Structure 1
Amino acid sequence: MFAIRFAGGLDDARTWVVPVGAPGDDDVGAEVSALAAATPDARKAGEVTVLPRPLRRPARVLLAGAGDGDEAGWRAAGAAIVRALTDDEQAQVRLPDDLSPDALRGLAEGLWLGGYRYREAPKPPRSGDVELVVRESPAYAEALAQARATATATWLARDLTNTPSSLKNPAWFADQVVAEAAKRPGMTVKVLAGEELERFGGLVAVGGASVSPPRFVEVSWTPPAAPDARHVVLVGKGITFDTGGISIKPRDGMWLMKKDMGGAAAVLGATLAAADLELPVRVTTLLPLAENAVGAAAFRPGDIIRHYDGTTSESTNSDAEGRLVLADALGYATERLNPDTIVVLATLTGANAVALGKRTAALYSEDDALAGQLEAAGSAAGERMWRLPLPADYVEYLSSEIADRHSSPTHVSSVVAALFLREFMGDVKSWAHLDMSAPAWAQAHDGDLTKGATGWGARTLVRYLALLDGGQ
C-alpha cells in the first residue's frame, strides 16, 4: 500500500489537492474559489477538477468535491483524487481544521481503496504518496489507523479473489492464511486435510472431483487482555473455482467463478484486521475450501450427503455446492466453538441480484439487534445490504423423502438457501447470512471500487467487530 501520512504545512513542490470550501487566503485559494464558482458540479462528491498552473508552483492543483462532507462524501473524494494522480505523483491534501475524524477516515479509505491494484498486475504498484495537511491529533491518528486496517483487509480480500484459479487452489489458499496469521501475535491457525475431513461430508463431496483436494481452515484471534470476550464466528464460502460440477454451468456463467471464494477472502481479511486493531472481541473464522470440478469422482445429482452434524441432505444440483460446504462449517462451529454470534458471508446465489442489483447484498437474520448492527456497519463502510424475509411456509421446500432435507429445491433460491443454512445453526440464536455474490465483483471502476474483485464484506465486518467494542 502506498503511504498516507500527516504533514504540518504545504510544500509547493508537490501537487496540491484542495477540497471545495477549504479555507485559503493565498493566490491558490483565490484561483480555486473562482474555479469552484464557475464549475456547477465542483462540490459533488467524487468530482475532481484540475487547475493547471504552468510556470508556477504548485504547478497543478486538484479541486475535490466531498458532497455534504460526511464520511461517504470524503470516501468518494479520496477515490477520485487518487485516480487523478499519476503513479509517482507526490500530493498534499489541504484539509479544514474542523474536519471530523470520521471524514478523515473516509478520505483515507477512499484514497487507499481507489488506488488498489492487483498485486500480480503487469503495471507496478503506485510509488507516490499522499500527505494530509491538517492539525494532527490523537483522534485523527486513530482514524488513519482504522482506515489503514480496513483498507489492508480489503486489499487482501481483493488480491485473493482476483488471483486466477490456476494458482488459487485450496492448498494455496490455506498457505496464504498461515502466512498472514504468522505476522500477527495472538492468532492461531488450524488446517485440516485428507482423513481429517472424514466428517465433512459436504466439503468432501464438493471437492472430490478436483485434482486439488479440499481443506478446512480455522483461524482465530483472541485478545490477550480479554480471552473471555464475546465470541463471534465468521464463516466464508471458499470455492476456489466453481464449474458447477456435473450440473455444469454455461460458459457465460463460469468464466468468473474464480470469485466464488469472495466470502472466505472477506472474512479472513476482517479477522486479520481485528488483530491489527487489537479489538477486544474473540473472532474465529472458518474457511471450507474446495474446487467444484467435473470428473469421474464428482458427486451426482440425487446423492445423499452426510454433514458434520450427522444430518443428511439430498442434492439434486451440484451447482448448489456452497451451502453444502457451509453446512459442515456451521456444524463444526456449533459443536466445537460455542459461539455467541455466527455471521456467514457467501457468494451463494445469483438470484438476489435480480432484486437488489450489483451493489447490494441480501441480509438474512432472525436477530433484529444483529441485523441492525450489520446494517449500521455496512452503511458506515459504504457496503449496502437489504434485509430479506425468512418465511415459515417456505421451509416445506426443504422437505425430502429420502434425507433430512433437500439442499437445492428450485423455489426462491436465495431465501431457501438461507433457510437451509439456518438448519445448521444449532442453538445459536444470534446469526446472520449475507448473500454477496453480486457485489463481490465490479465490471468497472466505480467510486471506491476498482474493476475486478471488490472485497465486499471485509469493511462491514471490521466496522461490526469494532462496534461490539463500542468503537466506530
Structure 2
Amino acid sequence: MRHRVVPFLALSAFFVSPADAQRALAIADYALPETGAVAVAVRQGVPDEGAFAALDQRSGGALRRAVRTAGFLGDRGTVLNLPGVGPYDQVLLVGTGSDPVTPRLLEDVGGLVGQAGVLSAAPEITLLWPEAGMPTAGAHLALGASLGQYTFRQYKTPKPAAPVLGQGTLTVRVVDAGAASAAWRSDWAHVAEGVRFARDLKTEPGNVIYPETFVERTREAFEGVRGVSIEVVDEARMRELGMGAMLSVGVGSAQPPKLLLVRYRGAGDAAPVAFVGKGITFDSGGISIKPADNMWRMKHDMAGAAAATGAVLALAKRGARVNAIAVAALAENMPDGEAARPGDVVRTLGGLTFENLNTDAEGRIVLVDAIAYVQRQDKPSMLIDIATLTGSQVTAVGDEYGGLFSRDDALVADLVAAGAASGEELWRLPLHPSYAKDLESPIADLRNVGSGGRAGAGLGAHFIGAWVDPAVRWAHIDMASMAWRDDAPLPTVPLGASAYGVRLFDRFVRDTIEAPKRAD
C-alpha cells in the first residue's frame, strides 16, 4: 500500500519571488541610442566600423581608448563590460572573432548580452546589429538573449535593500526589424518557451516535480495548443498492460509512475517521429543506493523527459509540419520494503525479460516499456530516445557533447548536423556486436548491466535497442554530461539546467523533415 505524501511546497505559488522577472524582449528598427546601456558585436581585431565606430565617435574616442587599455581583441565569446563611456551608462562589447555570421553565432551574441543583462540595473539595454543580409538576424539575437538571461529564483526571499537587477527591457535593433519580429513571434519565441519549460522542470526540487506534477505542468503548458492530444498511462493501466519494467522502478516510491504521451499532428497521416525521454524525477538508486554526496543532483534525472516534452511544445506552438510524439517515462526511484531487489527478473511490455542486477540502472528500464508502448500504439517511422543514462558517457566525451548511438548512418549524420547548427552537439559512440554477449543472462533474456565497468554507455544503448523494432529508424542519446552546467556557462546556457535536447530536436525536425517538404 502506498503512503500518502503531501509535498512540502504544495503551495509553491506563494513563494515566487519578484526577482524572477526577466527582461522583456523587443525588436525595433536600427538606430543609435543617445544615452543608456548599449551592446554591440565586435569582429576580430576591433575594426573601426559599424556600430562600434559610431559609438566611439559619440564618446569622443573614449571607447577605443578603453578597449586598448583592456586588451580586448574581439575574440569570439569574449565580453568587455564598460561602465560610463562618454554619454553611455554602460557599453557592452561582445567579440565574434573572424567566423562567418550564422544563426548560431547570432544566438551566442544575444546570449552573452542576456547574461550580462541579468547583472545590470539599466532599465533598458539596446543591442545593435547594423549588418544586412539575414532578415531573421534579430530573431536569432532575441532567441539567444532569452536563453542567456534565464534565471530561476522562485524560492529566494527578496531583499528590499538590494538593487533591482535584470529587469526592464532588452531591445534588439536591426536593419530588417519587420521580418525579424515576425520570425520571432511566429517561430523562435516558441523554441525559447520550450527551453524555459524544460529548464523549469529540471530545476524544481523533487518534492515539487514528481510524476503527477510533471503531467500537470505539461497539461498547463499545452492547454489550447492546436493539434495536440495527451495520454497518461497510470499505474493501474500499467499492470493491465504488463509494463513490468516501469512498475519495477516506481514500486519503491510513494509517488506512482506514469507514462505520458503528448501527440502533435502537423503533417496529416505521415508516420510520426517519437522522442522518448527518461523521466526519473528523483533517483536515489533504489536498493542499489547512491552515495550521499551530490545525490541532490538526481532531481534532474528527468532531463530527457523534459527535453522531449519541451521540444514537442516548441514544435506544436510554432506549427511545425511534422507529426511528433513526446514520450515521458516518469517514475521516482526510491528504496522501500517493496522496492525492486538486485537480481530480480522483470517481464516487460515488449515480452522480453531481463535480470535487474543494479536498480540504479533504472533509466534504461523505464525506457524499454515506453519504447514498446509507443511502437505498439503509434507505429513511428523514427524513434530517438534521450536520457541522463551513464557516468561513462561523461568520462568519454565530457560536457562538450552528448553521446550518440545508432546503427543508422544517415540518421547519425542528420543528428550530428542538427547538433552543430543548434549548439547542442553530439559525438557518435560505438554499438559493438559484442555488447550482446556482455549482457547475456543465465536466467533471463538479458541483464540490465554488464560486469567490470566496461563500455557502460554502449551497454546501456544496446539494452535499450533490444526493444526497438528493427524496421524503425532509431538513435539513443546519452546526455548525462549535458543536463546541468556546473562551472562555466555557455553563451545560451547559464549555470544550472541546460534543457539540452530541445533545440537539437527542433533543428533536426526543421532540417530533415520540414525542409524537404518545403522543397517539394
Q: For the structure 1 residues 415 and 379, does the alpha-carbon distance in structure 2 shift closer, same or farther, using more than 3 Å as the test?
A: same
Q: Secondary structure at the match of 2:27?
A: strand
Give the counterpart of 1:461 among 491, 499, 505. 505
Q: Read off the aligned partner of 1:470 and give its amino acid letter.
A: A
Instruction: Name the residue aligned to 1:46.
Output: 77
Q: Read off the aligned partner of 1:422 and give its amino acid letter.
A: G
Q: For the structure 1 residues 41 and 73, does the alpha-carbon distance in structure 2 shift closer, same or farther, using more than 3 Å as the test?
A: farther
Tell me, in whole angstroms, the C-alpha distance in 2 between the residues paired with 1:97 and 1:353.
40
Give the counterpart of 1:60 among 80, 90, 106. 90
Please list, as runs of the form range in 1=range in 2, the aligned pairs for 1:6-21 lying within 5 A after superposition.
6-8=27-29, 9-20=31-42, 21=49
Q: Please, which moves more after superposition, 363-372 or 116-125?
A: 116-125
Tell me, in whole angstroms, the C-alpha distance in 2 between the residues paired with 1:2 and 1:51.
20
Q: Please, which moves more after superposition, 359-368 or 127-136?
A: 127-136
Tell me, in whole angstroms, the C-alpha distance in 1 between the residues paired with 2:135 and 2:485.
29
Tell me, in whole angstroms, the C-alpha distance in 1 between the residues paired with 2:109 and 2:155.
25
* Cα displacement (A) at 1:82: 2.3
Unaligned runs of 5+ in 1: none
* Cα displacement (A) at 1:136: 2.2
Q: Read off the aligned partner of 1:75 and give its amino acid letter.
A: E
Tell me, in whole angstroms, the C-alpha distance in 2 between the residues paired with 1:168 and 1:87.
33
* Cα pair 2:141 2:172 within 8 Å, conserved: no
Residues 153-196 of structure 1: per-residue CA shift (max 9 Å, x gap): 11111110011001111111111111111141221111121311
Q: Read off the aligned partner of 1:95 and give its amino acid letter.
A: W
Give the counterpart of 1:75 among 107, 114, 122. 107
Task: Say whether 1:369 aligns with 2:410.
Answer: yes
Give the counterpart of 1:387 among 410, 428, 435. 428
* Cα displacement (A) at 1:122: 1.9
Q: Please, which moves more after superposition, 458-467 or 24-33?
A: 24-33
Q: Scaled by the length of structure 1, what TM-score is found?
A: 0.93
Q: Secondary structure at the match of 2:301?
A: helix
* Cα displacement (A) at 1:2: 3.4
* Cα pair 1:303 1:316 within 8 Å, conserved: yes
Q: Please, which moves more after superposition, 281-290 or 116-125?
A: 116-125
Q: CA RMSD in A?
A: 2.3
Q: Read off the aligned partner of 1:220 and give its amino acid letter.
A: R
Q: Secondary structure at the match of 1:93?
A: strand
Instruction: Name the residue aligned to 2:448.
Output: 407
Q: % of aligned pairs identical?
A: 33
* Cα displacement (A) at 1:149: 2.1
Tell me, in whole angstroms, the C-alpha distance in 2 between the residues paired with 1:78 and 1:368.
34
Task: Say whether 1:358 aligns with 2:399.
Answer: yes
Task: Say whether 1:322 aligns with 2:353.
Answer: no
* Cα pair 2:138 2:181 within 8 Å, conserved: no
Q: For the structure 1 residues 123 and 362, does the alpha-carbon distance in structure 2 shift closer, same or farther, using more than 3 Å as the test?
A: farther
Q: For the structure 1 residues 102 and 66, does the alpha-carbon distance in structure 2 shift closer, same or farther, using more than 3 Å as the test?
A: farther
Q: Read off the aligned partner of 2:40 and give its amino acid letter.
A: V
Task: Say whether 1:136 aligns with 2:182.
Answer: no
Q: Secondary structure at the match of 2:515?
A: coil
* Cα displacement (A) at 1:369: 1.5
Instruction: Name the residue aligned to 2:248.
Output: 205
Tell me, in whole angstroms, the C-alpha distance in 2 between the residues paired with 1:386 and 1:11.
44
* Cα pair 2:202 2:306 within 8 Å, conserved: yes
Q: Scaled by the length of structure 2, what TM-score is found?
A: 0.85
Residues 71-105 of structure 1: per-residue CA shift (max 9 Å, x gap): 44333322222232315530111212325357545
Tell me, in whole angstroms, the C-alpha distance in 1 between the residues paired with 2:245 and 2:114.
44
Q: Secondary structure at the match of 2:225?
A: coil
Q: Read off the aligned partner of 1:46 and give its amino acid letter.
A: G
Q: For the structure 1 residues 328 and 41, does the alpha-carbon distance in structure 2 shift closer, same or farther, using more than 3 Å as the test?
A: same
Misfit runs of 4+, over 6 Å: none
Instruction: Name the residue aligned to 2:229.
Output: 188
* Cα pair 2:132 2:175 within 8 Å, conserved: no
Task: Say whether 1:22 aligns with 2:65.
Answer: no
Tell me, in whole angstroms, the C-alpha distance in 1 between the residues paired with 2:412 and 2:145.
29
Q: For the structure 1 residues 134 and 140, does the alpha-carbon distance in structure 2 shift closer, same or farther, using more than 3 Å as the test?
A: same
* Cα pair 2:206 2:282 within 8 Å, conserved: yes
Q: For the structure 1 residues 99 and 414, does the alpha-carbon distance in structure 2 shift closer, same or farther, using more than 3 Å as the test?
A: same
Q: Read off the aligned partner of 2:353 and give its amino acid letter.
A: T
Q: Secondary structure at the match of 2:50?
A: coil
Q: For the structure 1 residues 42 and 184, does the alpha-carbon distance in structure 2 shift closer, same or farther, using more than 3 Å as the test?
A: farther
Task: Say whether 1:295 aligns with 2:336.
Answer: yes
Q: Read off the aligned partner of 2:456 and give its amino acid letter.
A: S
Task: Say whether 1:214 aligns with 2:257.
Answer: yes
Instruction: Name the residue aligned to 2:495.
Output: 451
Tell me, in whole angstroms, the C-alpha distance in 2 between the residues paired with 1:131 and 1:11.
11
* Cα displacement (A) at 1:142: 5.2
Q: For the structure 1 residues 74 and 16, does the alpha-carbon distance in structure 2 shift closer, same or farther, using more than 3 Å as the test?
A: same
Instruction: Name the residue aligned to 1:122.
Output: 156
Tell me, in whole angstroms, the C-alpha distance in 1 between the residues paired with 2:505 and 2:153.
23
> Paired residues, what number?
469
Residues 250-299 of structure 1: per-residue CA shift (max 9 Å, x gap): 11252210010000001110000001110010001111100000000101
Give the counterpart of 1:423 among 417, 441, 466. 466
Q: For the structure 1 residues 50 and 286, does the alpha-carbon distance in structure 2 shift closer, same or farther, using more than 3 Å as the test?
A: closer
Tell me, in whole angstroms, the C-alpha distance in 1 between the residues paired with 2:447 and 2:294.
24
Q: For the structure 1 residues 383 and 142, does the alpha-carbon distance in structure 2 shift closer, same or farther, using more than 3 Å as the test?
A: farther
Please list, as runs of the form range in 1=range in 2, the aligned pairs for 1:66-105 lying within 5 A after superposition.
66-67=96-97, 68=99, 69-85=101-117, 86=120, 89-98=123-132, 100-101=134-135, 104-105=138-139
Q: For the structure 1 residues 321 and 310, does the alpha-carbon distance in structure 2 shift closer, same or farther, using more than 3 Å as the test?
A: same
Instruction: Name the residue aligned to 1:4.
Output: 25
Tell me, in whole angstroms, the C-alpha distance in 1 between the residues paired with 2:514 and 2:332.
36
Task: Say whether 1:470 aligns with 2:515.
Answer: yes
Please list, as runs of the form range in 1=range in 2, the aligned pairs for 1:135-284 lying within 5 A after superposition.
135-136=175-176, 139-141=179-181, 143-145=183-185, 146-198=187-239, 199-223=242-266, 226-252=267-293, 254-284=295-325
* Cα displacement (A) at 1:46: 2.6
Q: Please, which moves more after superposition, 310-319 or 27-36?
A: 27-36
* Cα pair 1:6 1:136 within 8 Å, conserved: no
Tell me, in whole angstroms, the C-alpha distance in 1 between the residues paired with 2:121 and 2:370.
42
Give the counterpart of 1:108 among 142, 153, 162. 142
Unaligned runs of 5+ in 2: 1-21, 43-48, 159-164
Q: Please, which moves more after superposition, 315-324 or 407-416?
A: 407-416
* Cα pair 2:403 2:477 within 8 Å, conserved: yes
Q: For the structure 1 residues 322 and 370, does the alpha-carbon distance in structure 2 shift closer, same or farther, using more than 3 Å as the test?
A: same
* Cα pair 1:320 1:408 within 8 Å, conserved: yes
Tell me, in whole angstroms, the C-alpha distance in 2 between the residues paired with 1:297 and 1:4.
51
Tell me, in whole angstroms, the C-alpha distance in 1 between the residues paired with 2:80 and 2:470.
56
